[in-house]
Amino acid sequence: MGEHAEPEPETKPAERHDVERRSVDWHKQKDRAVSFLAGLVRWIGLIFAAFLVLYVIFVIGDANAANGIVSFVKGWAESVSLGFKDLFHPKLSVLVNYGIAAIFWLVVSGILAKVIRRVGGQSGG
């Protein structure tokens, strides 16, 4: 029994050259992208509605039309009011027309956000 077995060389963790590869969870990445896009749509709708509401407040409050802030808000409000700008002509037409446009943007952005989440495979709001 004179067999001489050579000991196996020890491998130290520092000497290991195994590269661990992280797998990408594409489902999680898709969910994050869908959530981001739906949130972005909601924020855009909210910002549009805010411009419309600010413009209503400026008009009803008889704000100075020459003021830079008022003219900036008016420009945006007129751009995002779509076909609602001349919808009614009552005494408080600005309140009604731009108010409806603000509600429109809040509703549409909410619906679009839900559609994006549903198409993207997410549940919840």
Element (H, E) at 103: helix 93-119
pLDDT tens string 88-102: 776 678 888 888 899
Closest CA to 70 of 89, 61, 101, 47: 61
Return the SS3 of 106. helix
* pLDDT, the chain, mean: 83
What pLDDT score does 11 carry?
A: 54
Provide the residue type at 118 as one letter.
R
Whether this prediction's pTM lies above 0.85 is answered by: no
Q: Work out the percent of the chain whose per-residue pLDDT is above 70.
A: 78
